Each structure stands twice: as C-alpha cells, then as structure tokens.
Chains A and B, each alone.
Chain A
Amino acid sequence: MTTATAPRATSAPARVGVGERALAERRLGWMLCGPALAVMVGVTAYPLARAVWLSLYSYRITDPAGRHFVGLRNYGVVLTDHLWWSDVLTTVVITVVTVAVELVVGFAFASVMQRTLVGRRFIRTSILVPYGIITVVSAFAWRYAFALDTGFVNHVFGLGHFAWFGHRGSALFVIILAEIWKTTPFMSLLLLAGLAQVPRELLEAAEVDGATKAQRLFRVTLPNMRAAIMVALLFRTLDAYRIFDTVFVTTNGANGTETVSFLAYRQTITRTALGLGSAVSVLLFASVVLIAVVFVKGFGVDLARARGER
C-alpha cells in the first residue's frame, strides 16, 4: 500500500488534488468491490436472516396456510430430540477422526512431496486428482467397493459376506475413509507450503548438534510450521463438520450415520418442514461459528496473517 500513501506527504498547495485523488480512489475501490460484496452478502445474509425468521414458525411448504408463530419451540423440539444429539455425535466423530488422520497422512504426503526429486510432477498430479474429483463420484467408488453385491473388498480380504453398511461403526469407517481419501490432498498442500517455511539452517544446526530425527521433527519442524498447521486444521475441521455428499451417497443416513447437515436437508427439502428444518440449519450455522471462534480465540489462529493479509 506504499504507493497509495506516498503522495500524502506533499506540501499544502497540492493537498486539494490529493484529496480528490484519494476520494476518486475510494470511489473506485467501492465500485470494484461492490458487485462481489453484493453477491456474497445477498445470497448468504438474506437467506440466513430468513432461516432465523422461519425457524420461529411452524411452517410446511405443503401447508402454507397453516403457518403460525411458535417462538423458540422448534429449537426446543430439536434440542430435546435424541436424534439431534445422535447426529451431532456422528458428525463430531467423523470430524475428529477424519481431521486427525488427515493431519498425519497429509504431513507424510507433504514430506514425500518435499523430498522427492524424481517424478515430482507425477506425484503432485496423483495427489491433486482426489482434490478435483467430484465428491459424489468418490463416494460411489467407495460405496461400490464395500457393497455386498458389487464390492471387491470382502472378496479380496476374505471377509465373507460382511455388510459394511449394515452397522454404524463399519459404515462410519467407510464414510471416514472416503472423506480422508478425498480431502487429504488439500491438507497436504497447505502443510507442504508450511514445510517450505521451516528455516533450513535451523534443521542443519539441529542435525550438527546431534538431534535425532524425531527431535528434529518435534522440536524444530513442527513448531516452525504451527501457523500453517492451525490454518489447515481450521479449514478442514469446518469442512468436515459440514459433511453431506458422502453420507447421502453411501448410506443415505441409515444405521446411525446421519449427520447434522443431512438432518437439516431431510427436514427442509425432503420433509418440506421449513420451520423445524430452519431451526436445525440455524443450529448448524451456530456450531460452525462456535468451532471457528474456538480456533481463532482459543488456539490463537491468526487468520489475517496466515492468509497473507497483514
């Protein structure tokens, strides 16, 4: 921003021109940002406000005339329902396991990418493919791989006729596996950028001083890429918490695999209970905000700095 501020130091007679210039710059700034801001806020703020408003009503699309104000009763219904808490638990389990495994696997991928000299391009390509692939497609691949009829997993591993999607634990295992496969690339690329920031001299100095591999990893590498790790964790946690596509395709929420997003979808779109569904949506939004606040305030993730904005 140096160029923008530099002319301001000029003497008094020039100030009128500078003021006009600054004003023109301001106007141009808002003109350029206006459309983007309008689209971003228009499609999120208004519907969100409407979701909050709808959540205070008993309202089904199939019965518009029967819409009536119920206050916070929808929230009461959701929060006292066993299903809501079961879905929250499922979502939290998926989020925690997925992100934890991804952090380790993603770090391993990043280390491999950083060290590999031969075939770097090829490895980067193969890591990026899951990132670009449609989530629904990846979910189908995993579903068919584990399915009783079409699957090869039972066959190859000699598991007989084990119904992977018939039990909560094994169904969640497949869902988590599919999620990890699809989203580890994103994690590993953020970590690779973090790895590049670790000063080489520090690692060399540690090696000269006789530090073991583990010591160098835990005392030098990881502390120096803390910012990158935290940002990657924040983005992936928020993303994992919103899981929907994979659940829809693999189990359709059956056998205790329904997630919070899936519940919101089922209430609003499938059951067209917009009032109750909006209450679920607002609660989902609130929990995402809570996660973000915990990361930013609790763990001190400096997003502005981490995202390149000083």
Chain B
Amino acid sequence: MIGTALTDLWYGFGVALEPHNLMFCFIGVLVGNMVGVLPGMGPLATISILLPLTFGMKPVAAILMLGGVMYGAQYGGAICSILLNLPCHPPHAVTCLDGFPMTKQGRGGVALGLTVFASFVGASWGITEMIFLSPLLVRAALQFGPAEVCSLMLLGLLAGSTLARGSPIKGVAMTVLGLFLGSVGTDLETGSERYTLGMTELDDGIELIALALGLFGIAEFMNSVNQVAPINTKYTNVTFKDMRPTKADMKRAFFPMWRGTIIGSLCALIPGTGPTIASFVAYATEKKISRHPEKFGTGLIEGVVCPEAATHSSVQGDFIPTMSLGIPGDAVMALLLGALMIQGIVPGPQLISQHPDIFWGLVASFWIGNIMLVLLNVPLIGIWVKMLAIPYKFLYPSAMFFVCIGVYAANNDFFQVGEVAAIGLFGYVLLRLGFHPAPILLGFVLGPRFEENFRRAMLIARGDMLVFIERPISAFFVGMCVLLIGSQIYLRLKGAKAAELNVDDDAPIAAPAEPKIPVQLANQRVPVTPAE
C-alpha cells in the first residue's frame, strides 16, 4: 500500500512539475502570501476574486493555484501577527500573544524564521497524512450508499457550523440558509423552477462566485471600512540576517513544533475543526505542559512555533475530507470544491480514481508550494514587510473592481453584479446581527448534493426515514451528530466551564480583543462556547 501511494505521489510530482502547472502554483502561493500579509484581506475573499480567472484554465492548474492561495495566506498571516500584533486571519490570533512581545524585544526576526521552519514541518506532516489516509478513506467511502452519504454530509454540516466561530445555534441557522440558497433555481429532478421570483437569470441557481464575493468581499469591506487602524511600522525593519535563530532557540522550539504538528493533524481529522481551533488548542496545550506557564505572553518561542505548526498541519489535513469524501470542513474548502464543480468535476470518493492528476498533482504541489514559500519568505522578508504599509483605503476600492469584473466575467452578465451587491448588503446585515456567514457557503455547496442523495435514499428505502439508523455506518454518523448536538447543549448549560474544554483560560480569547485589531475580527470569537 505504501508502495502504490509512493508511485502515485511520483506521478503527482510529474503533473505538478509541468511548467505551466508550476507557474500557476507559484502565482497562487505568491498571491496568497501577499494577501496574507495585507491586513484586511482574507483568503476567502482572495480565492473568490481569483476564481473567475480560473475558468479558462485546466482544472489541475486552477486547483493548484487556488490551493496555493489558501496555504500561502497562512505563511503571510504569521508575518502580520508577529510584527504588527494584527491577527489578520483568525488562526494566527494566538501567534500574536508571544510573537509580538518577541518583536518588541527585537527578536521578531527569530520568531519569523522559526515560524517559517515550523510551518514547513507542520505542512509536510499534513501532506504525508493526506497521502496515506486519503486512499484508506476512499476505500471505505466507496461502500457508501445514498443513506450513508447523506448522514455523513449532515455530520459535516453540523460540525462545520457548530464548531466554527460564534454561537453554534446561529451557525446552524446559517447552514440551513445555505442549504436553502443551494436549492434556488431549477430543480434537477423535476425541472420545475424554485424561488426564482420570475427572474430567468436565477434559473441556474445563485452564482457561487456572487455568493462568496458578496459575503466575504463586500460585506467584509462594509465591516472594515474606516475601522482599520493605521499600521504601526515601528518594528518592521526585519532583514534576512535577523531571522537566523540561535542554537538555544532551535532546541527550545523543537518539541513544541512537533507537538503543534500532531495536534494540528488530529484536529484536521475531526470534521469542522479547522486551523483556528487547532492553533488555539495547541497554544493552550503548550501552556499547560510548560514548566513555566506564567511566562507565556511575554515572548516565548514555544508560544509561536507550536500554534503555527498546528495551523499548517491542519490546513493541509483539511484537504483530506474535502478531496477524498467531497465533504468540505470549512468555507475555504467549500469554495475550492465549488471551483472544482465549476470545472465540471464531481467531488466525492471517486475523484481520486477518476482524476488522479488533480488529486496527486495537488498533493505534490503542496510540497513544491511549501518549499517555494520558505524560499519566498526567508530571503525576501524585507519586501513582505514593506507590503504591510499598504493602506486599506487603496486596497478595498481596488478589490471592489475585482469583485465586479469577476462576477461579470463568470457569465458575461450584469445581473450577477447586481446579485453580488444585494448579497453583500444582506451579508453585512447578518454580520451585524452576530451571524457568521461562512457556514452559508458550506451549506450552499453541499445543498444540491445533499438533496439529491436524500431523495435517492428515500426512494430506495420506500420513504422509510428509519433507514438512516438501520444501516450501521449511517447510524454511526447519525450517532455522532446526536453526540455533537448533545455536547453543545451540555456545554451551553454548563455555561462558564465550557471554555475550559478548548482553552484553559481567557487569555487567548481576550488577547486578540486588544485595540488594534480590525473590526471584522472582533466578532470572530473562536472555539466552541465562549466564556460567559
């Protein structure tokens, strides 16, 4: 089995090293890194902006590039949090805690250097996990009938909405809304129109790009406009020379790095727990087992490398359920899956055997991309640091143009541009009401497939709902769902003690609420139930 995996991997390198695939992988990680550095732009907005550009590409090149944006942004985000104390992306919020004090002590370069290294280790582990676990998962998943697929999707949706940010019940409401939005348009089985309100442009359903750009582009811009604090570039003079760690630093960072990696890879296996939770859990664990927990927050290298390694290993690991089962764990993965579907590729367990070039090319490109990122980040750190100074007032108007032209180019139709504006306004209202729109995308992408499988399962079972608990595998998934809901209710009732489960005290949650953070992060409270 290891033999076949290695042969496939070898083939994947062949695909990923084709010159034009290599080029798009490079563009992806470059743009991702750039966006990760820029405060106020997230990977979700960037991937949605780049999505229309990939329509003309081959599927392999498209997915390599979009994947590159995703993990490239994680590298860039670390720079932002360590040097500026700005957690541009939620997974890096805990990195600020010890990263920024290190910067103040003049050791920001060392923190960055070791972060890049730890990230690479974490990512490599995640990729290895993907190589060996995906084929196993696929073998199991090929036995699934519609009932199993259906209950697995249910589990994925529930986990994605309850374990993500903010209130679990609001997350579930967003998922339901997303499932509904996915059903707008022509019903595939009967051909009748649903919820089109007489607009023929909606016959094909709501455009994925318009939804993503409205929710993560326009709504976010409305949220952050005039709220992003000017950036303090006092500490940003980092050069290549500053990045070399001392031997003592390396020694201290070694074990935390591996612990972070393992935690991240475990978190990746639980559906719905993305890099954000992984990094919080990693930081909390590291603090707990440390011999001097009181020093955390004063610039300990352990507090930087452990969450960063966890983030990266979980980011790569998140691709496992997405690519092998077709069940995305979070909104970014849902978007990547949507990109594949636009290219006409059906996600699911058959993807690896039907499109080995996509799967193995992607895996191989992860490694190539991560090496590129190390090369990009270490010697060129000076350039990235300069980019931190680009003000938001230039950023968001330019991004608005990309949003408009992007949705226009999807169908060459102005209707979608209006659609994106409407969705943006709606998304902002949701944001203000304390909803987090990410699960909408999850529900939207899975919606049509969920409905299809649900109908099929009911047809086979002659309308007997009990089929979901009569078939053992399906019953297992349903049981997990019940467990998930039960634990949420239990945690809710236990109130204050709930936070203990994920984060041992308020520090990691409280700290990102320091004044300098762009507003959109303020309502992205991270793990399960927040402390009351």
Partners in one complex: no
